[in-house]
Amino acid sequence: MSQAINLTIVGSIGIDTIETPTEKREEILGGSVSYACAAASFFTQSGMVGVVGTDFPQTFRDRWTKMNINLDGLQTQEGKTFRWSGVYEANMDNRTTLSTDLNVFEEFSPNLPETYRDAPYLFLGNIHPALQLHVLEQVHTPRFVLIDTMDLWINIAKEELTQVIGKCDMLTLNESEAQLFTGEHSLMQAAKALIKLGPDYVLIKKGGNGSMLYSRDDLFLLHAYPLDTFADPTGAGDSFAGGLMGALAASGKTDAEAIRQAMVYGSVVASFGVEEFSLDRLQRLDRDQIDQRLNQFRAICRI
């Protein structure tokens, strides 16, 4: 008998073609829910909600299954899987999207299996806010809901996004998205504006410069684990948030202290993820390696 779903994660599934200054990889497994479920898998039983086309390779499905990710919420639709391709600049800080073919993702309507609806933790990955809302309507009083978004929805669906954020416990977005959403350059000011939308926590991601957790009565700054080099930053934010939600779900808690600890786990898992393309590194990762790096990380950040 399979384990009960402790964490439901909704998001995109893509087949990516990625070019960095040193390497090009074609048709690799990507998408926010793929990275997030993989990162969560080290901590708890997650269930994946997403859509693929009939062209989706069985080998990709096997990668998830080997990580013990529940796929009952994975839909297969007639047509091609979502494709994305992008190229990173020399410094790896900026990337340019070369092509986006939504394919079956364009008509995606997330439907949660009954076993997913009672999961106490829910991560609404970056999809259209109307779809995020549709997921919220299907779940039964989750204890903690994290919502992610992106600049596209801030630009074209801000009203719906604002509405769904108000129903969540925690919002996460990138530094530039927080600034875009609020018009505030200062992250503290942006966080103060965003918390007024309703969530208890605002988590602003700063890439290689770490992240900031803001709530009405607590503030937490976290570094990114310092890497000498990395292969591909794609999915780092999704791995961070997925690892965070996995560790939080495993703790069974939802308070600020538990979120801090979960963020540290998420950051460590994300640091492994970027060492290789796709899920390549995460698939060879084990809990001992995570705990070992976590101890190093604590020593590096101790003041």
Residues in contact with a second copy by the rule CB under 8 A: 90-92, 185-189, 192, 206, 209-210, 212, 219-223, 226-229, 260-261, 264, 297-298, 300-303
Residue with the two structure tokens 């073609």: 17
Least separation in angstroms between residue 194's CB and a second copy is 14
Smallest distance from a second copy to CB 291, Å: 14
| Cβ-based neighbours of 12, under 8 Å, separated by 6 or more | 31, 32, 33, 50, 82, 105, 125, 126, 127
When the beta carbons of 212 and 245 are compared against a second copy, the nearer one is 212
Q: Which is nearer to a second copy, 108 or 201 (CB)?
A: 201
Strand spans (E) along 104-210 = 121-124, 144-148, 170-174, 201-205
Closest separation in Å from C-beta 295 to a second copy: 11
CB of 77 to a second copy, least distance (A): 41
**170-174 vs 201-205, strand pairing mode:** parallel
Of the pair 101, 230, the CB lying nearest a second copy is at 230
Which 3 state secondary structure label does DSSP give 140? coil
10, 139, 256, 267, 268 from 224: Cα distances, Å:
25, 33, 19, 6, 8
The residue (of 91 and 141) whose beta carbon lies closer to a second copy is: 91
Task: Provide the minimum distance between the beta carbon of 205 and a second copy in the complex, in angstroms, as a whole number.
Answer: 13
SS3 28: strand
Measured from the CB atom, is 161 or 212 closer to a second copy? 212
